[in-house]
Amino acid sequence: MELALALGLIAFKVALLIAALLLLPLPLTWLERKIAGRIQQRMGPMRVGWHGLLQPLADGIKLLTKEDHIPAEADRFLFKLAPILALAPPFVVFAAVPFGESISVMGTEISLYVANLNVALLFILAVIGIEVYGVVFGGWAANSKYALLGSLRTCAQMISYEIPMGFAVIGVVMLAQSMSLVDIVRAQADMWNIVYQPVGFFVFFVAGLAEAQRIPFDLAEAEGDLGAGFHTEYSGIRFIFFMVSEYVIMVLVSVLAVILFFGGWNGVLIPLPPLLWFFMKVAFFIYLFMWFRFTFPRYRYDQLMAIGWKVLLPLSLANIIITGILFV
């Protein structure tokens, strides 16, 4: 009986998590357009629903009813597989992401995570790297020069920035003496890691921008020279998969930044519920992603590579050495 109850609770958590992640792009696309309108001194969506609140729903209906087009010379199997490979890894890693310790429901303590892995950070960094295959396969299988160039850019970009991102979190692991995200948050009960790891956070966040392929590092989708990049030939539901993947990765990087460097659900000064603290911090970083998109220009590709290898990589290595000398 207890085993069945435990399995049912895990299934419920997984279903709730998947539903939340699938629906999350709806409010985020509306919010991003409104932020763009505010920054660019215009109104943003206003016509569908009050202040354009139903615009994401209208966009979803439009995309779902579009023709599912596959180029005649495309590799049909890889073309269909690519959006799934791009979408699945960001969803899988959230199984190891905690949103808090636990809450009490009718006298029963329910943990706010699916699994507390003792190697959660390693698991996340390993699985999220699989997402690059979806982008590469999508660009190559489309048999389009624009899409192919976008996928090649993505491959080089994500591999280049995954290295400093991985090194950036080593300082956090050294301080917490654990790869469990729950233990890392608990270790920040008295002082957030951003105090000890400002360089590590800078490297992690910039690399996260590149991993999420967001401006100023959206070279894989550069509409000015590649049409739409790796997903130029995609339409309908397959295009939605790529877009949902992009938003979920943005949320994932925001969540990891909060957990690793900003105390997770630990608050400061104001006695708010831990879960509220957590979501307020994540919301701030999501806003930061959107603010950057409509503020900074896109880098040239050689500048993108130079930042990854000549700036972020040396900084991340220096951060590991300094952390080892001062804190371990």
Statement to judge: residues 78 and 143 lie in one domain: yes
Task: State yes or no: pLDDT of 6 exceeds 80.
Answer: no
Statement to judge: residues 230 and 81 lie in one domain: yes
Arithmetic mean of pLDDT, 287-295: 88
Task: State yes or no: pLDDT of 1 exceeds 70.
Answer: no
Statement to judge: residues 27 and 100 lie in one domain: no
Statement to judge: residues 161 and 269 lie in one domain: yes
Given 19, 48, 65, the domain boundary residue is: 65
Statement to judge: residues 131 and 46 lie in one domain: no
Among the listed residues 202, 135, 192, the one whose alpha carbon sits nearest the alpha carbon of residue 167: 202
Statement to judge: residues 31 and 50 lie in one domain: yes
Task: State yes or no: pLDDT of 203 exceeds 90.
Answer: yes
Q: 192: domain range?
A: 71-327
Statement to judge: residues 187 and 51 lie in one domain: no
Spatial contact of 319 and 168, defined as CB atoms under 8 Å apart = yes
Total count of domains within the chain: 2
Spatial contact of 82 and 220, defined as CB atoms under 8 Å apart = no
Percentage above 90 pLDDT, the chain:
15
Residue 103: its H or E element: strand 102-105
Arithmetic mean of pLDDT, 171-178: 90
Task: State yes or no: pLDDT of 254 exceeds 90.
Answer: yes
SS3 (DSSP) at 104: strand
Arithmetic mean of pLDDT, 168-179: 90
Report the alpha-carbon distance of residue 51 to residue 213 in Å, rounded: 28
Lowest mean pLDDT among 45-49, 68-72, 89-93, 245-249: 68-72
Statement to judge: residues 170 and 315 lie in one domain: yes
Q: Give the per-residue pLDDT at 200.
A: 92
Residue 320: its H or E element: helix 313-327
Task: State yes or no: pLDDT of 107 exceeds 90.
Answer: no
Arithmetic mean of pLDDT, 120-126: 89
Given 65, 90, 120, the domain boundary residue is: 65
Residue 61: its H or E element: helix 55-64
Statement to judge: residues 106 and 60 lie in one domain: no
Task: State yes or no: pLDDT of 7 exceeds 70.
Answer: yes
Statement to judge: residues 52 and 93 lie in one domain: no
Task: State yes or no: pLDDT of 32 exceeds 70.
Answer: yes
Question: Is 302 buried (19+), middle (13-18) or exposed (0-12) by CB count in 10 A?
Answer: exposed
Statement to judge: residues 91 and 37 lie in one domain: no
pLDDT one-digit tens code per residue, 292-317: 888 888 888 788 888 888 899 999 99
Task: State yes or no: pLDDT of 102 exceeds 80.
Answer: no
Statement to judge: residues 22 and 113 lie in one domain: no
Confidence of residue 40 (pLDDT cuts 50, 70, 90): confident
